[in-house]
């Protein structure tokens, strides 16, 4: 999945770098595929981003609840709204505050992850890694592709990097971003599963009770920071897509961005695993297929045999992912 994600992000970066002006995916679809595709693509990314924002709201509130409810009291709903208000405020302030916030949080997250791993290392049980059920072989697909997908940030990176260095810097950023993500996930998975085993919880950190309440609280703070940085990045991207591609005023774009996922939550979509499975397999799957179509249209005269083979293989992966998720949903 890391290789698949890397290849897709490189394809999307080539589209972004080869197109003048400020656009998001609907804008690229309109330019290279036609006006009808603009509406189709906007619907796809809107569903994808809303699912992502909803997932981060659900689990971000849970992390805050685990971290602070034993100290300050209060229900899960209170911490859910606290996460929502903080994230909404940062999205409202836009890119400069997002950049500063994420740099600080990245350092804090790295330190916390190191502490989690050192604390878990003496209590890791090798037998916890031995469980396997073939019926669930493809069950993690949606969550994995969701966790590795970073297409929404590519246009943002283009705007942050000076023009003369964009191509080289952007490709390096994608490569090292994927590598770092995989390494971080690996360390986190080994730490959590090695200690919790079959007691691993949906939010991962609640199952670390054997390490004591302190490490559970710190792990929950780590989870909150991960969710919060992703929430504000995706929220900002959706807000700008509404502004740039649909010409919706900034304040209205912000209102749509933050209140649509909130409304869906209160309509009953509260299962974190179900939401990220849908977001990764179906929403991201269609988004990836759309990027492949745009790339083919953008570089129609320059398509190599290697790209044609890669694009067909990638299309099969995403189509199978969509079909398998539908199967899991129906069963």
Percent residues over pLDDT 90 in the chain: 28
Is 103 a member of any domain?
yes
Mean per-residue pLDDT over the chain, rounded? 85
Confidence at residue 21, expressed as pLDDT on a 0 to 100 scale: 80
Following DSSP, what letter does each residue of 147-195 receive, concatenated? HH--GGGHHHHHHHS-GGGHHHHHHHHHHHHHHHHHHHHHHHHHHHHHH
Query: pTM for this structure?
Result: 0.81
| Helix segments in 73-140, DSSP class H | 76-93, 95-120
Evaluate whether residue 133 is within a structural domain: no
Residue 39, in any domain of the structure: yes
pLDDT tens-digit map of 66-96: 889 888 888 999 999 999 999 999 898 875 5
The residues, any chain, with a CB within 8 Å of residue 168's CB and separated by 6 or more, are none
CATH number at residue 170: 1.20.1740.10
Residue 22 counted as domain residue: yes
Structural domain that includes position 199: 2-123+141-330
In-domain check, residue 267: yes
Confidence label for 302 from pLDDT (cuts 50, 70 and 90)? confident
Pair of tokens at residue 151: 């297409």
Q: How many domains does the chain have?
A: 1
* 101 pLDDT above the threshold of 70: no
Neighbours of 147 (CB within 10 A): 19
In a domain, 309, yes or no: yes
pLDDT of residue 315: 93
| pLDDT, tens digit, 9 for 90 and up, residues 148-189 | 988 878 887 887 777 777 778 888 999 999 999 999 889 888
Per-residue pLDDT, 58: 92
Residue 218 clears pLDDT 60, i.e. is over it: yes
Q: Give the pLDDT confidence score for residue 214 in this predicted structure.
A: 80
Residue 130 inside a domain? The answer is no
pLDDT at residue 104 greater than cutoff 80? no
Question: Per the domain annotation, does 152 fall within a domain?
Answer: yes
The confidence score (pLDDT) of residue 39 equals 86
CA distance 318 to 206: 32
């Amino acid at each position: 999945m890391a290789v698949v994600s890397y290849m897709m992000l490189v394809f999307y970066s080539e589209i972004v770098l080869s197109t003048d002006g400020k656009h998001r995916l609907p804008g690229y679809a309109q330019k290279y595929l036609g006006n009808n595709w603009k509406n189709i693509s906007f619907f796809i990314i809107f569903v994808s981003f809303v699912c992502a924002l909803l997932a981060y709201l659900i689990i971000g509130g849970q992390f805050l609840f685990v971290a602070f409810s034993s100290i300050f009291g209060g229900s899960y709903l209170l911490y859910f709204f606290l996460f929502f208000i903080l994230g909404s405020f940062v999205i409202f302030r836009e890119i400069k505050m997002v950049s500063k916030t994420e740099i600080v949080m990245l350092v804090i997250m790295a330190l916390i992850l190191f502490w989690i791993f050192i604390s878990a290392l003496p209590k890791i049980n090798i037998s916890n890694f031995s469980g396997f059920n073939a019926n669930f072989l493809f069950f993690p697909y949606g969550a994995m592709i969701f966790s590795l997908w970073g297409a929404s940030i590519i246009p943002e990176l283009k705007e942050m990097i000076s023009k003369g260095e964009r191509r080289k810097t952007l490709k390096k950023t994608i490569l090292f971003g994927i590598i770092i993500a995989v390494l971080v996930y690996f360390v986190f998975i080994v730490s959590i599963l090695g200690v919790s085993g079959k007691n691993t919880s949906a939010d991962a950190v609640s199952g670390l009770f054997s390490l004591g309440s302190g490490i559970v609280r710190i792990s929950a703070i780590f989870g909150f920071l991960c969710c919060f940085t992703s929430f504000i990045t995706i929220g900002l991207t959706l807000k700008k897509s509404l502004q740039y591609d649909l010409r919706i005023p900034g304040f209205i774009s912000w209102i749509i961005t933050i209140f649509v996922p909130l409304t869906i939550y209160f309509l009953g979509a509260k299962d974190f695993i179900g939401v990220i499975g849908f977001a990764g397999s179906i929403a991201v799957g269609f988004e990836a297929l759309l990027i492949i179509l745009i790339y083919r249209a953008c570089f129609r005269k320059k398509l190599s045999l290697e790209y044609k083979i890669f694009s067909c293989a990638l299309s099969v992966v995403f189509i199978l992912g969509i079909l398998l998720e539908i199967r899991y949903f129906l069963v």
